[in-house]
Chains A and B, each alone.
Chain A
Amino acid sequence: MIQTRGLTYCYPGGPALVFPDVDVPQGAVLLLSGPSGCGKSTWLALVAGLVAPASGALTVADQPLAALKKIAADAWRARAIGFLPQKLHLSAALTVQQNLALAQWAAGQPEDAVRIQAALQSLGVQELAGRKPGQLSGGQAQRVALARAVLLQPQVILADEPTASLDDEAAADAVGLLLSTAKTHHATLVIATHDARIATLIPAGIDGQIGFQPLRLLRKQL
């Protein structure tokens, strides 16, 4: 779950952003939309514990983030947050298997080949384990990046612009994949996007288990 109260963020020498309060139950989907520069990325960074709010309270995956020190925040983020960036950032120097092992290393966990294989299998890309990212199609790369995001069984998946530069069919596939993966892992899914198509691709109250909550962020300054 994600709960925010009176959240604001100040850029050094820049404007202060004011965010609306949010309550997202575990397993729900939050669609975070709004024009470029409205604060979507900052909101994601706040939820991931990467930056501290100027004011307000923030609880993510039952963890009040204000109580976490920096190193503890890193360890918590590794366990609780799965991240799917817009540019997938799979390391070209490493194979798919090694890219997932890198995520385990970043999280301070020993390499677990069985778990990696299971994550790849859950996304249907287990046969790609030995390939380098340059040898993958766009769809395959996105599945691998999603396998990396869910590798450590996070409670929250943050997807940043997952449909940018995809055609309609690919965008529908990507959103469907995100929804089913979040459902499989019973994770709260946050999709930050300025792509208006996504709202139409997420049916409200999918099979009665996942709630869909749209949140349109508009730049508000103190």
Chain B
Amino acid sequence: MKTLSFAWRYLWARPLSAALNVLLLSLGLASITFLLLVGHQLSTAFDRDLAGIDVVVGAKGSPMQLILSGVLHLDVPPGNVPLAAVRALEKNPLVARLIPISLGDNFQGYRIVGTSHDYIRHYQATLAQGALWTAPMQVVLGATTARKLGAALGNTFVGTHGLGTGGHAHGDSTYTVVGILAPSGSVLDRLILTDTASVWKVHEDYTAVDAEDRKIMEEEREITMALVQYKTPMAALTFPRYVNTSTEMQAAAPALEISRLLNMLGLGTDVLRAFAGVLLLTAGLSVFIALWSAVRERRADLALLRMLGAPPAKVAALLLCEALWLGLLAAVLGLALGQGFAAALGWFLQLDNSLLIGGLVWPPELAVVPALALGVSLGAALLPALGAYRVSVLELLQSR
């Protein structure tokens, strides 16, 4: 303990050098913390939101866009598909369950999703207040949506056309909040859920010019996409090909598309990781230079310790403990900064109601941060510590 205590005092005898070294190490570690946190939370969000969805059927276009818009609610959908075609698919013997998704409107940036109760059951979400909808124009709010909007049961609102703010308001179609979900940690938290019929009603009321027109529209009803669960894993071999070749729709496998997405993101992540590595290497060199200078400056002091009876290993341990302090301080500061960066990103993204990324998450892989901090600082201290170990008392005696 005394060794740590003396090392601390020696370290802060050069406060500027110590502070700069801690800062430099911390920045490298913060970058790594940030990458680990974002990677972990993205991967958890993808795993959670994609679980149990074998394939997504929607309009032809980009399959990744279909997944991003329909499952993760991050993008606009490529278009709509006829309800009749989807109902036909529902009867396919390979399909165990089909959940309809209808997009098109939002309220203050939160997507209004027309669907069935199966969608809520799929994510095993539970109600915190109220009940599920029993009729069109009743909505259930996700936990985050309700919290951010400050909404309560019985509140009413009108949706806005489009998936972003600033669209035309459907002033004559009022939604009523009948339920609020408990936080599930899934995509449902940031959605407004209603019956599929609500979405049809809003748009038919808005566009139908007369009863005849409305009847035609009812016959040509569409949904945006369907989330499909297979009865058997073998269906993956034939079902997508069947949809893609025999219908006007496309089938996109979430696992495949997310894997493509992660590969694309991987390049950016690799660049950031390399940048963090360069920062850490620079910090390691800086620690080395600082400790090496400290040994040179304090050569006589260290020799005196030998004269006072300290074994060489004890003198070297003093230097290593200085590096240990640098590493510990940098690890704490780096983790705090990394969490801060992630929280800032989370705050920024939540403005757009997109991915749920935030700070104050402690995945086990973060253990690599203190390990790196200690590895870099102690590694950088090895040569200076060896110098301290070999310090010659004769030099002290002969220095005049």
Q: Which residues of A contact B (CB under 8 A)?
A: 36, 41-42, 44-45, 48, 50-51, 70-71, 74-75, 77-79, 81, 83, 85-87, 89, 91-94, 98, 101-103, 105-108, 111, 148, 160-161, 164
Contacts and interface: CB of A to CB of B under 8 A. Distances in A.
Given A42-B394, A45-B393, A50-B393, A93 B9 contact: yes
B3 interface: yes
B10 A86 contact: no
Contacts, number: 85
B305 A106 contact: yes
B236 interface: no
Contact of A45 (B3, B305, B397): B397
24 contacts: A41-B397, A41-B398, A42-B397, A45-B394, A48-B393, A50-B307, A50-B393, A71-B311, A75-B309, A77-B308, A77-B309, A78-B309, A79-B309, A85-B304, A86-B400, A91-B13, A105-B2, A105-B3, A105-B6, A105-B310, A106-B310, A106-B314, A107-B309, A164-B400
A87 B6 contact: no
Contacts of A107: 308-310
Interface in B294-324: 300-301, 304-311, 314
B308 A83 contact: yes
B310 A44 contact: no
Nearest to B395: A41
B306 A50 contact: yes
B246 interface: no
B399 interface: yes
Contact of B396 (A70, A78, A85, A161): A85
A160 B397 contact: yes
Contacts of A92: 13
A87 B393 contact: no
Contacts of B300: 85, 87, 89
A93 B10 contact: yes
B309 A74 contact: yes
A188 B149 CA distance: 86
Interface in B264-309: 300-301, 304-309
B142 to A, nearest CB: 57
Main secondary structure of the interface of B (DSSP, over half): helix
A32 B10 CA distance: 35
Interface in B132-162: none
Interface residues of B, number: 25
Contacts of B304: 83, 85, 89
Nearest to A74: B311
Given A92-B13, A98-B9, A36 B394 contact: no
Counting chain B CB atoms within 10 Å of each CB, the highest count among A75, A91, A108 belongs to: A91
Nearest to B398: A41
Counting chain A CB atoms within 10 Å of each CB, the highest count among B6, B10, B307 belongs to: B307
A58 to B, nearest CB: 16
Given A71-B311, A160-B397, 11 more contacts: A44-B397, A45-B397, A74-B309, A79-B309, A86-B400, A89-B300, A89-B396, A91-B10, A93-B13, A102-B6, A105-B2
A77 B2 contact: no
A77 B314 CA distance: 15
B13 A106 contact: no
Contacts of A103: 308
Interface in B94-132: none
Counting chain A CB atoms within 10 Å of each CB, the highest count among B304, B393, B394 belongs to: B304
A175 B311 CA distance: 31
A102 to B, nearest CB: 6
A215 B394 CA distance: 21
B79 to A, nearest CB: 71
Nearest to A103: B308
B9 A106 contact: no
Contacts of A71: 311
A116 to B, nearest CB: 13
Nearest to A132: B13
A38 B82 CA distance: 105
A103 B305 CA distance: 7
B308 A78 contact: yes
Contacts of B314: 106, 108
B301 A89 contact: yes
Contacts of B301: 89, 91
A106 B400 contact: no
B394 A51 contact: yes
Contacts of A87: 300, 399
Contacts of B10: 91, 93
Given A45-B393, A45-B394, A89-B300, A83 B307 contact: yes
Interface string B1-27: 011001001101100000000000000
